[in-house]
Each structure stands twice: as C-alpha cells, then as structure tokens.
C-alpha cells in the first residue's frame, strides 16, 4: 500500500487508508475516556481509523445503556437506605396493650366509660325517681330523707366529687394516647412527603439524564454519517 495514501493507527499500529484517518481532537470526550482506559497515552494529537472509532462508539453506547439500567437500581437502593437507616416512621400502631395499665387506670377508664353513657343517665334517673318517690309516696311519715332531700343531695355531691377526678384521670390518659397518635400521623405524613420528593427527584434525574444521553447518541449518529459521507466523497 502506498505510504502517501496510508497512515499508521496509534491504537493497533496497523496501516489504514488515509481516508479512514480520524484525529483525536475530533473525538467525543466520553469516547476519548473509553479509549484512554485501554490506551492511556492516546491524546488529541494522535489518530485512529474509522473502524476502530466505530468499535469504541459501540462500546460507549453499550456502557451507556447498561449504566442507565444500573442507575435505576442505585436510586432505588438510595431510597431504601434513606427509608430504613433514617426511618421517620414509627412502628405501625396496633391495639393498645391493656396489660401495661394499672388497676387504677383500668378502673378510671371503666368509670369514665360508664359515666359518659346513656346507661348511667337512665340508671341514675331511675335511682333518683325511686328515692324521691319512696320518700314522698311510699314511706310518707316514716321517710328517711324527707323533702328537700338533703341526704340525696349529699350523695349526689359525693358522687360528683369522686367521679370528676376519675374522669379527669381517664381524659389525661386519653390525651397522652392522642398525642402519640398525632406523633405517629406526623411521622407517616413526613415519610410520605419524603418518598414523594425522592420520587420526583428520581423522575427529574431520569428525564434530564435520558435527554443528555439522547443528544449524545444523536451526535454520535451525526458523526458517523459525516464520516460515511466523507469516505464516499473521497472514494469518488
């Protein structure tokens, strides 16, 4: 082969037609990095053949696709790590463990539950009706609590005095449970917000990255088409 119409590739040290010569300064930066992985001394002043460049272009496209698939799993691992190592969600709340309650707390809950029900109201109205009726109509002169029913008022006052703090004890415990539920609801909402934010970032990253890769692929296709056109023109 005529030396004037050939050149020696700096990659494999073989002779190629001068029409296939590609300068290192015209090679895409990403492809140049792949070439330097195999040939660290390759620089912009060196050259290689179109067939060699096409092989590196194929290698770059293959790595591009594999990296795109791999990035999805890496992002998913990042989300899982953030959700597990820095978990903002407490354990799923289950039914209340009544075994941890003291006798006084259980009694307060039962008294508060009964005192705030229609059963208590109806029972107490019947008790008052029987008390008043027996003292007015049944016993008459032998009544143990004649009008104005001072003993009944004393009993009612004692019941109210005892019932009020018991109900307050139950309400205080209910407020503690409500605060715990509110805290868990807040953590659940925060976790959901973080997951949505990470999902948005993941989608934005994929869209931007895919657009960049698409532009690079299009640029590679244009370069390859230009090389083919130039080769056809030189062979005429």
pTM over the 0.85 mark = no
| Cβ-proximal residues to 78 (8 Å cutoff; 6+ apart), any chain | 198
Q: What is the mean pLDDT of the chain?
A: 75
* 170: number of Cβ within 10 Å: 20
Average pLDDT over residues 78-93: 50
Q: According to the model, what pLDDT value does residue 80 have? A: 47
**Does the pLDDT at position 163 exceed 60?**
yes
**Does the pLDDT at position 40 exceed 90?**
no
Average the pLDDT over each of 108-112, 117-121, 222-226 and give the range with the smallest value: 108-112
Q: How far is CA 209 from CA 77, 204, 215, in A?
A: 18, 8, 10
**Does the pLDDT at position 209 exceed 50?**
yes
User: How far apart are the C-alpha atoms of 75 and 77, rounded to whole Å?
Assistant: 5
Exposure class string for 201-225: b at 16+ Cβ within 10 A, else e: ebeeeeeeeeeeeeebeeebeebee
Six token digits for residue 36: 């330097």
- Domain ranges for the chain: 3-86, 99-204
């Amino acid at each position: 082969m005529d030396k004037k119409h050939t050149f020696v590739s700096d990659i494999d040290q073989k002779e190629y037609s001068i029409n296939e010569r590609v300068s290192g300064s015209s090679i895409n930066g990403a492809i140049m990095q792949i070439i330097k992985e195999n040939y660290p001394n390759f620089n912009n002043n060196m050259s290689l053949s179109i067939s060699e460049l096409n092989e590196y272009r194929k290698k770059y496209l293959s790595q591009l696709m594999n990296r795109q698939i791999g990035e999805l799993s890496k992002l998913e691992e990042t989300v899982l790590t953030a959700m597990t190592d820095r978990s903002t969600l407490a354990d799923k709340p289950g039914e209340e463990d009544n075994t941890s309650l003291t006798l006084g707390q259980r009694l307060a809950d039962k008294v508060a539950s009964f005192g705030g029900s229609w059963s208590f109201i109806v029972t107490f109205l019947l008790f008052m009706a029987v008390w008043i009726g027996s003292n007015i109509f049944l016993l008459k002169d032998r009544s143990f609590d004649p009008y104005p029913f001072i003993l009944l008022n004393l009993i009612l006052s004692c019941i109210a005095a005892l019932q009020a703090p018991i109900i307050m004890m139950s309400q205080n415990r209910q407020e503690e449970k409500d605060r715990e539920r509110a805290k868990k609801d807040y953590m659940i909402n925060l976790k959901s917000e973080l997951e949505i934010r990470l999902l948005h970032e993941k989608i934005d990253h994929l869209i931007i990255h895919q657009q960049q890769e698409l532009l690079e692929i299009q640029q590679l296709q244009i370069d390859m088409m230009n090389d083919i056109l130039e080769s056809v023109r030189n062979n005429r």
